[in-house]
Chains A and B, each alone.
Chain A
């Protein structure tokens, strides 16, 4: 006896269970229509965005020669390397300070935007929408605005990171406050704790680990954004990055990119370690 089926048997099975195997006509039609729409818009985009095969090939050729020129990464001189490392320190400082300040300043905003703290619907709506507005503006644009206020330099970059994070933190806090469990608070009250005890032993232990892990996560992602903030002159390594690219100093460019990669993965590693130390091994 064999397990192989004959062509006839196969046809019979297909006739009996055709719907299950092929799927209904309607589903197939929606699948085809979706794929056609996605591909159609894609092709339309390619035609309007000045892409031509010739240009892509020529560009890839250029890119290839740049990559060859980038190797090996080389800062040029020791003095230059020192400047780059200092700029990297500035970048990390911008990310750290901006995140910490935003996390602190966003606390009152978070309470203002939390539904169970401020019951007024208009205040709640306005607070939420303005936080969305602040979040919607890119850190690079905030940097351009702050440069007008405090002048060029890392201070403007730090303020820009802080401003664009205020919106995100405000939103996160308000959600954390809305989702906080009342039971520990009631438990503290039931053994005779006062209002301060309720917050210290009922609310804070719930909210603090979440906030701390979010702050760590933001420091991580802000290190990435603060590397580019220097492109508009707001401090950090971005200034040298755009400068070396514009002057075609490719070996220095690749050295800078390497520095950024090392710094970002070091901060990733550190903040992962810290996060696990703070919240234990359970994932968030």
Chain B
């Protein structure tokens, strides 16, 4: 017996023909996709005014800019050089702390709001389809409008300062977390819900004793993740006058205080990294507790 294939066997030829056709269809689809993609890219290049000539002409400025933001540090006078670089350390640390607090208060407020709305938005618990639809659209609105746009409006309504920043972050967080929370609620085990409903509990009691214990650790984990994102968000709130370190950052960039730019950015990046590490550890602890 051999493994060679008789190419003239009609069955084999039929298969080969079918394969050729399938491959040709797929190739045609890929080609059409590619053409559409290239057309989109061409349109986008026009829309975003891509100008390679201008880019290459000025590209040297990019490394130059970054180079200029770097401080001059000499090994001999490292202490005083560092002190000069971080001349505003006291003020910046205070602003950084304010930034973190803005993110924290905004996250807590937003998480509480999301907690309130998520049960009504979940498909398995929401009592009326009408209410569910409204809550979902509302949450969608909250997360689609960028937080800095909310901040711009709130700065005019509430005046300059951290308060509009907090509210803007809270609203955006509510929209983002509300969606995640309601997805968590939709994935719960429904047996405890049935059990508690069978004892004659009201809707609120069902939520309190059958749903909340199942979802709380996941909620906390998502809220921690959001906190880290919000610290980044809060660091640019100052661009529109809504408090935090962004105010000093944009001033340094606009007025070309080069070394201040790097000093503040480094502080922000460091803070975000530390919070990233801390929340990641907490989240792993939370999620492993849930699995036990």
A60 CB, min distance to chain B CBs, angstroms:
8
Q: For A132, what are the chain B residues with a Cβ–Cβ distance below 8 Å?
A: 273
C-alpha spacing A98/B47, complex, angstroms: 12
Q: For B59, what are the chain A residues with a Cβ–Cβ distance below 8 Å?
A: 149
Contact status of A150 and B47, CB under 8 A, knowing A59-B159, A228-B148: no
Of the candidates B61, B157, B269, the one whose C-beta lies within 8 Å of that of A148 is B61
C-alpha spacing A92/B43, complex, angstroms: 10
The verdict on B6 contacting chain A, using a C-beta distance below 8 Å, is: no
A245 touches B239 (CB 8 A): no
| B109 and chain A: residue at smallest CB distance | A42
**Of B18-26, B72-80, B161-169, the one with at least 4 CB within 8 A of chain A:** B161-169
Q: For A136, what are the chain B residues with a Cβ–Cβ distance below 8 Å?
A: 232, 268-269, 272-273
> 1/0 per position for A28-58, CB-CB distance to B under 8 A?
0000000000100110111011110001101
B47 touches A45 (CB 8 A): no
The verdict on A264 contacting chain B, using a C-beta distance below 8 Å, is: yes
B115 CB, min distance to chain A CBs, angstroms:
13
Contact status of A155 and B48, CB under 8 A, knowing A93-B43, A149-B61, A225-B146: yes
Of the candidates B47, B58, B102, B253, the one whose C-beta lies within 8 Å of that of A49 is B102
B51 touches A260 (CB 8 A): no
The B34-85 residues at the A interface (CB cut-off 8 A) are: 40-41, 43-51, 54-55, 58-59, 61-62, 65-66
The verdict on A210 contacting chain B, using a C-beta distance below 8 Å, is: no
A55 touches B159 (CB 8 A): yes
The verdict on A94 contacting chain B, using a C-beta distance below 8 Å, is: yes
Give the 6 A-B CB pairs with smallest separation, nearest first.
A93-B47, A59-B158, A62-B157, A93-B44, A45-B105, A158-B48
Q: Which residues of B contact A (CB under 8 A)?
A: 40-41, 43-51, 54-55, 58-59, 61-62, 65-66, 98, 101-102, 104-105, 108, 140-141, 144-146, 148-149, 152-154, 156-159, 161-164, 166, 232, 235-236, 239-240, 243, 249-250, 253-254, 265, 268-269, 272-273
Q: A45-B104, A145-B62 are in contact. List 19 more A-B contacts (CB 8 A).
A: A48-B101, A50-B163, A63-B154, A93-B43, A93-B44, A94-B44, A96-B40, A97-B45, A100-B41, A137-B269, A140-B148, A141-B253, A144-B250, A146-B62, A154-B49, A231-B152, A241-B152, A253-B153, A260-B144
